[in-house]
Structure 1
């Protein structure tokens, strides 16, 4: 079994966690120890560390996740009832492909059991292994990356710089949509920005998102896999001065995105990467994980919905009829991507795309929502 490759939690760390308050997360989580592996029945969330940095941009990068665990497990839980386990660490294999394989199989098994893996990793190319974990599920995958660049690079680049290209090119090609949150234009070649547009992917500049973080909520609501590069956070907030980032998201904003990901009924895996072992960053990552789990406990379980009785249907007459749905429960909006029987469809049925009330108002004014238009084009490619 793939979980046999996971290393138990360090003994010294377990002793430290046992000394925490009874009300802390340390006493609410079941750990993979030398003595026992957690039972996965009824489990909803599983934390996995991945000690792999060979895909990193920089040489001599190390990763120590015990500091993150110490900070996370001394936090107090909210009004949580979901069972959480910590499965320990995937150690770096003989080759990086060996590490990819173990992570891929672990994600596949957990998602198949309706358990959300929360992966704390080294370099962000591990996102590719998480994506490949969906191969056996036979579904199209939407990936959202909070990152300051697109990771398209192909020539003389590290795996962390080019994993997105592998997602697009490698078979089987299950990638339906990629969305970038927070790219900084000066870190991305114009050819890469043009390629994102050509592939009908979604990209939001740092300034655009920082001025209005709520525009990202529908993006996270449509994600299957969410990947956060901690270098998207400004160094003054993250404490990471190895890769100095004068601009980026604040700690509050990155936690907001994490909560959006947790609230999404569709997100089935979540990863945090490029932790550079600073104490301040460990504290921030602990809070990012906390907000994801907090969001998970506020899921409304309204998508995919079996009945539309709790939704109001709105039809906007344009050259092509647009159909919107508004939830009575949360007042969130969706727009329908129709199934065209006379065309090739990547999506094998009519699908709902999360949107905003502003998208509906624009449609009423005769403007076709951009994300709907892009989704249509991707569906027919």
Structure 2
């Protein structure tokens, strides 16, 4: 079945300047679904952009279904970086008769793209579509790490197992989904006063990762290893402060700055492991002078720039391209192995599945920071190692 059945075509006149595009601009190189659906085989793109015109489950933020249209007006006029762009704009997924039909369409499209080696860039719509993005990995027979950039935890703590599926409860459905292929969930840039202590305790109990806004402010590089571990990323525009991104009904005075959001997106693009990204909850009807639309376009630009600057240094082959460091903690009870890439200076730690000291054991490779190595050398167990170890027991 052709993916074209899920999409409505685009009219380039809606976002093409009167003078046309310069050869350096994105719009001059994008393979657009206009008269024909892009060829995803003979002229296989690296990336595929599409909108999802469904905001029925975007609680309190109706209007975000139109996000892709406004974003395109600004994205197409941006200049390309130092790379050969291979991007297809597939158009927009039409709303299904029910929201479940929309989820099924997003799942089918993302599954096909990911298995074909094409990275989907999703423009929502409500963040409940993250659940459909996650479902795309169901048949890939792999454990999945999910990263979220959001000012809140979208969980229903009162009605855990029977919560309706919407933009404020989709995490219930991801966490409880069967079959269970969720390895880790990371919530970045949350604001403590929006999250109950019970929700934070639940994250700790499940060994999930939560990084509050205060730990990221002015030190965005701290999120890089967390994002580098992710297979998919979902970005809620409410994570950005109102002054930088007013086009969201849940925007607040505090949040990420626009340049911090762009850096996070570039980290995501540079992640060799990441195979899908979604941007949700941008509402053009609330967007003064389309400032948020411009920022979203720039965030996607940074993701693409990162994508074409991937270092391809994971997995760790060949070994000669890496430096291995070993240290022990807790009176030699544990040997911790760290690996540093000579190419990118990025760090990983090896966490054994069995917990034994055998040199032939299987291990899980976890992106980390130099500071984690320093913690281990000082004799302390890095939290990241311990949390990962608990999941592997």
Deviation at 1:182? 0.6
1:132 corresponds in structure 2 to 135
Structure 2 portions without partners, runs of 5+: none
Q: How many residues align?
A: 375
Match of residue 48 from structure 1: 50
Partner residue of 1:330 out of 341, 344, 363: 344
Aligned to 1:149: 152
Which whole-Å deviations, capped at 9, do the CAs of 1:181-229 have from their partners, x for residues lacking one?
1111111111111101111001011111113111101011101001100
Note the C-alpha offset of 1:165: 1.2
Matched, 1:8 2:15: no
Alpha-carbon distance change, 72 to 14 in structure 1, aligned in 2, over 3 angstroms: closer
1:16 to partner: Cα distance: 4.7
Match of residue 239 from structure 1 = 246
Q: Distance in 2 between matches of 1:107 and 1:274?
A: 19
RMSD, aligned CA: 1.9
The ranges of structure 1 where at least 4 consecutive aligned residues each deviate by more than 6 angstroms after the TM superposition are: none
**Residue 378 (1) aligns with residue 391 (2):** yes
Counterpart in 1 of 2:268?
A: 261
User: Which aligned pairs between 1:100-179 and structure 2 lie closer than 5 A?
Assistant: 100-153=103-156, 155=159, 159-179=166-186
DSSP-derived class of the 2:320 partner: coil
Deviation of 1:305 (Å) = 3.0
1:97 matched to 2:100: yes
Matches within 5 A, 1:345-356: 349-356=362-369
Give, in whole Å, the separation in 1 of the partners of 2:354 and 2:245: 47
Instruction: Kindly report which structure 2 residues correspond to 1:191-340, keeping only aligned pairs within 5 A, or say none.
Output: 191-240=198-247, 242-277=249-284, 278=287, 279-318=290-329, 319-340=333-354
Residue 36 (structure 1) shift: 3.8
Offset at residue 244 of structure 1 (A): 3.7
Residue 43 of structure 1 aligns to a residue whose secondary structure is coil
- Answering whether residue 378 of structure 2 is matched by residue 365 of structure 1, we say yes
Range with greater deviation from structure 2 (114-123 or 16-25): 16-25
3-state SS of 1:235 partner: coil
Task: Provide the rounded CA distance (Å) in 2 between the counterparts of 1:62 and 1:222.
Answer: 29
Rate the CA distance shift 1:237–1:325 in 2: closer, same or farther, 3 A.
same
SS of 1:248 mapped into structure 2: coil
For 1:150 and 1:260, the matched residues in 2 are separated by 22
The Cα shift of 1:19 comes to 1.7
* Cα shift readout 1:57-82 (whole Å, capped 9, x = no counterpart): 11643422211001000000001224
Q: State the Cα deviation string for residues 115-151 of structure 1 (Å, max 9, x = none).
A: 1101111111111111110011100000110000111
Distance 1:18 1:10, change over 3 A: farther
Q: TM-score, normalised by structure 1?
A: 0.94
